[in-house]
Amino acid sequence: MFSDQHETVTPSGKGKRASEAKGSDSQPHPRLAVWIESYKGHLMRLCQSGAKRDIVVSKKHLAAALDARSFCAICAAHKPEIDLLIKLFGLQDWFAAHAPQEPYGGLESAAQSYLGLCQALLMEQVRALSDEDLENLGYSIVSAKATHFSGKLIHSDTQGAGMPARDVPSVQPHLSSRRLLRAGIPLPLDQVKLDNSGALQRVIKVLNDDPLVSASGLSAREQKAIQRGAKQALDDASQRRPNFVDHRLRQLLLPAGKGVYISVSPLPAGGMGVLLNQAVQHHEDAALAQAAAEAKAAASEAASEAVSESPESPESPEKPRRGRKAKSDKSDKGGATTEGEKKKDDVAPKYKPLFERIEFPIGGANPRNASLHWTDRGFANPLLFTAPQRSSNNRGVWRFLHRPWSAWISRDAAKKIGAQIAKLGQSSYGDSGSLAAVRVQASGSLAEWVRSCHGAAQAFARALNETDLSPSEGGLRLLIDEEYVMKSRGQETLPALDRCLLQQNFGKEYRQAMSDHLLAVLRRRTVDPSTGIGTIESAASAKRVSDAIEKLLGEAL
Amino acid sequence: MTYLVIDLRVKKASMLQSIDFITPAPVFAAVMAAHALDMEMGKRGSALGVSGVGLVHQHCQPWLEHLENEKGWMERHLVQRRGACSIENPKNKEPQGNPLQPDALTDLEWTLVLDCAADLGDAASREIEGQLMRMRLAGGVIALARVRAHSQWDDVLQGMKSGFWIDDASALLEAEADPDPFIALIQAARSGAWVVPVNLGYALLEAPAQGRSGSRDAKPHAFAEHMIGLIRYTPARLAKVGLLPDKLWRHGWDGDQFLVTNRSGVILSAAYKLVNACASSDHQAK
Per-residue pLDDT tens digits for A502-538:
888 888 899 999 999 999 998 888 887 777 777 777 7
**The pLDDT value given to residue A455:** 87
Give me the residue from A251, A252, A267 closest to B225, CB to CB.
Answer: A267
Task: Please state the φ and ψ torsions of residue B223, each to the nearest 5 degrees.
Answer: -80, 150
- CB contact at 8 A, A195 and A147: no
B4 CA: distance to closest CA in chain A (Å)? 15
- Whether residue A371 contacts residue A363, with contact meaning beta carbons closer than 8 Å, is answered with yes
Which of these ranges, A65-69, A410-414, A429-433, has the smallest mean pLDDT? A429-433
What is the arithmetic mean of pLDDT over A73-85? 82
CA distance to A53, A308, A504, per residue, from A63 (Å): 21, 61, 77
Residue B197: per-residue pLDDT: 94
Find the residue in B nearest to A153 (Cα). B19
Q: What separation in angstroms does the CA of A256 have from each of B19, B84, B255, B270?
A: 26, 34, 11, 6
Lowest mean per-residue pLDDT among A232-246, A476-490, B58-72: A476-490
DSSP B235: E
Inter-chain touch B144–A323, beta carbons under 8 Å: no
Region B135-161: mean pLDDT is 88
Residue A169 near residue A178, CB atoms below 8 Å: yes
d(CA B58, CA B7) in angstroms, rounded, equals 9
Does residue A2 surpass a pLDDT of 50?
no
* pLDDT score recorded for residue B279: 41
**In this structure, are residues B108 and B83 in contact, taking their beta carbons and an 8 Å threshold?**
no
pLDDT confidence of residue A252: 93
Arithmetic mean of pLDDT over chain A: 78
**Residue B250 confidence (pLDDT):** 93
In this prediction, residue B276 carries a pLDDT of 47
Candidates A530, A524, A535; CA nearest to A431 is A535
Handedness of CA B239, B242, B244, B246 (dihedral sign): negative
Residue A325 phi/psi, 5° resolution?
-75, 125
User: Phi, psi (5° rounding) for residue B115?
Assistant: -95, 105
Contact B76/A251, CB-based, under 8 Å? no
- A132-152 average pLDDT score: 86
Closest CA to A520 of A401, A404, A437: A404
Per the CB < 8 A criterion, the answer to whether A234 and A187 are in contact is no
Per CB-CB distance under 8 Å, the chain A contacts of B24 are: 385-387
CA distance B10 to chain A (A): 12
Write out A87-154 in H/E/C secondary structure. HHHCCHHHHHHHCCCCCCCCCHHHHHHHHHHHHHHHHHHHHCCCHHHHHHHHHHHHHHHEECEEHHHC
Q: SS3 for A527?
A: strand
Cβ distance A388 to B164 less than 8 Å, yes or no, reads yes
Taking contacts as CB-CB distances below 8 angstroms, the residues of chain B near A245 are: 212-215, 221
Q: A356 pairs with which residues across the strands?
A: A384
| pLDDT of res. A311 | 47
Of A163, A364, A387, the CB nearest to B23: A387
The 3-state DSSP class for residue A32 equals helix
Give the pLDDT of residue B232: 92
Q: What pLDDT does A53 receive?
A: 74
**Cα atoms in the Cβ-side hemisphere of radius 13 Å centred on B278:** 2
Sort B213 into a burial class: Cβ within 10 Å, 0-12 / 13-18 / 19+. Answer: exposed
- Nearest C-alpha of chain A: how many angstroms from B95? 12
Torsion of CA A281, A282, A285, A291, to 10 degrees: -120
Q: Are B165 and B243 in contact, with CB atoms under 8 Å apart?
A: yes
Alpha helices, DSSP H only, in B44-173?
A: 122-133, 153-159
- Kindly tell me if the per-residue pLDDT of A313 is higher than 80: no
Q: What is the pLDDT of residue A331?
A: 41
User: How much is the CA Rg of chain B, to the nearest whole Å?
Assistant: 21
The reported pLDDT for the residue numbered B87 is 60
> Does B26 or A81 have the greater pLDDT score?
B26
- A392: closest chain B residue by CA: B59
Query: Mean per-residue pLDDT for A101-123?
Result: 79
Per-residue three-class SS string for B173-212? HCCCCCCCHHHHHHHHHHCCCEEEEEEEEEEECCCCECCC
| A105-120 average pLDDT score | 79
Interface test with A, best of B227, B253, B263, B273 (most A CBs within 10 A): B227
> Which pLDDT score, from 0 to 100, does residue A261 have?
92
Q: By the 8 A CB rule, do A161 and A267 touch?
A: yes
State which amino acid sits at residue A61.
Answer: H
Report the range of poorest mean pLDDT among A267-271, B136-140, B146-150, B280-284. B280-284
A180 to B23: CB separation less than 8 angstroms, yes or no: no
Specify the 3-state DSSP secondary structure of B166.
Answer: strand
CB contacts of B227 in chain A (<8 Å) are 172, 174-176
| pLDDT for A203 beyond 90 | no
The predicted structure's pLDDT at residue A16 = 42
pLDDT band at B285 (very low <50, low <70, confident <90, very high): very low
Which residues in chain B have their CB less than 8 angstroms from residue A176's CB?
203, 225-228
Per the model's pLDDT, the better-predicted residue between B147 and A539 turns out to be B147
**pLDDT score for B45:** 85
The amino acid at residue B48 is L
State residue A540's pLDDT score.
80
Facing residue for A251 by CB, picked from B59, B71, B216? B216
Cβ neighbours of B19 in A, within 8 Å: 153, 268, 272-273, 360, 362, 380, 382
User: Which pLDDT score is estimated for B275?
Assistant: 55
pLDDT tens digit sequence for A176-187 = 999 999 888 889
Q: Pick from A155, A162, A153, A179: which is nearest to B206 by CA? A: A162
Pick the residue from chain B with its C-alpha nearest to A143.
Answer: B286
Contacts of B279 in chain A (CB under 8 A): 241
pLDDT > 70: what percent of chain B? 89
**Pairwise CB contact (< 8 Å): A262 & B205:** no
Q: Which of A322-336, B40-54, B105-119, B160-174 has the lowest mean pLDDT?
A: A322-336
The phi, psi pair for A454, rounded to 5°, reads -65, -40
Instruction: Give every CB contact of residue B248 below 8 A, 6+ residues apart in sequence.
Output: B51, B52, B53, B54, B113, B115, B262
pLDDT digits (tens, 9 = 90+) for B221-230: 999 999 999 9
User: Could you read off the pLDDT of B171-205 as tens digits, one per residue?
Assistant: 988 877 778 899 889 888 888 788 999 999 999 99
Mean pLDDT throughout A231-245?
A: 85
Closest Cβ–Cβ partner in A247, A282, A383 for B20: A383
Total Cβ atoms within 10 A of residue A553: 23
Chain B residues inside the 8 Å CB shell of A476: 7-9, 109, 144-146
Q: Which amino acid is at A361?
A: P
For residues A62 and A33, give the distance between their C-alpha atoms in angstroms, rounded to a whole number. Answer: 10
Q: Is a pLDDT exceeding 50 seen at residue A239?
A: yes
Contact of A212 with B180, CB cutoff 8 Å: no
Contact (CB, 8 A) for A273 and A153: no
Which chain A residues contact residue B163 at CB under 8 A? 466
Query: DSSP character for A260?
Result: -
DSSP B246: G
User: Which pLDDT belongs to residue A489?
Assistant: 87
Residues of A in contact with B80 (CB under 8 A): 361
Sign of CA dihedral B88, B94, B99, B104: positive
